[in-house]
């Protein structure tokens, strides 16, 4: 299930209230729901909702969704020219002719090279998720 990082606080508070009605006042569930509701109110009242949304997004975003390709090249020669230009940063993930590579230091410590690192879409083609 995808979570909505731009959730409406009032809708969430209303849902918590509706859920809370099912539990006896003073119960463990009642206390937990009240704490969650007050935490949301505190965040909103102290103008920290944008910060919380960023945290929420990072907490629920699957790691695969946070992988970003910094450059795309049609050929290895084009990618090698970019590496030689000095613009590449160690750790960057790039796409070369549809395949993923990560920028790494050369063993001799004299520059950068590319290490084959399959991109998420490559892995999904090779290992499709189980649909059952």
- Tell me what pLDDT residue 97 has: 96
**pLDDT class of 37 with cuts at 50, 70, 90:** very high
Q: Distance between CA 11 and CA 87 in Å, rounded? A: 47
Sheet with 112-116, side-by-side order of all strands: 71-73, 93-96, 99-105, 112-116
The domains of the chain are located at: 9-61, 71-126
- Other Cβ atoms less than 10 A from the Cβ of 71: the count is 16
Q: Distance between CA 122 and CA 129 in Å, rounded? A: 12
Q: Are 17 and 30 in contact (CB under 8 A)?
A: no
- Other Cβ atoms less than 10 A from the Cβ of 52: the count is 19
Please, is 62 exposed, middle or buried when counting C-beta atoms within 10 Å of its C-beta (0-12, 13-18, 19+)?
A: exposed
Q: Distance between CA 47 and CA 67 in Å, rounded? A: 30
pLDDT digits (tens, 9 = 90+) for 59-70: 776 666 668 899
Is pLDDT of 38 > 90? Answer: yes
pLDDT digits (tens, 9 = 90+) for 46-100: 999 999 988 887 777 666 666 889 999 999 999 999 999 999 999 999 999 999 9
């Amino acid at each position: 299930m995808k979570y909505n990082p731009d959730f409406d606080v009032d809708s969430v508070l209303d849902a918590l209230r509706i859920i809370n009605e099912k539990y006896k006042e003073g119960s463990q569930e009642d206390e937990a729901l009240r704490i969650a509701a007050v935490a949301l109110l505190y965040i909103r009242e102290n103008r920290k909702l944008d910060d919380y949304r960023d945290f929420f997004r990072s907490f629920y975003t699957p790691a695969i969704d946070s992988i970003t390709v910094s450059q795309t090249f049609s050929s290895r020669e084009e990618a090698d020219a970019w590496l030689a230009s000095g613009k590449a940063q160690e750790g960057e993930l790039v796409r070369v002719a549809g395949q993923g590579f990560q920028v790494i230091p050369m063993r001799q410590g004299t520059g950068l090279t590319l290490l084959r690192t399959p991109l998420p879409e490559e892995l999904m083609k090779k290992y499709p998720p189980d649909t059952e």
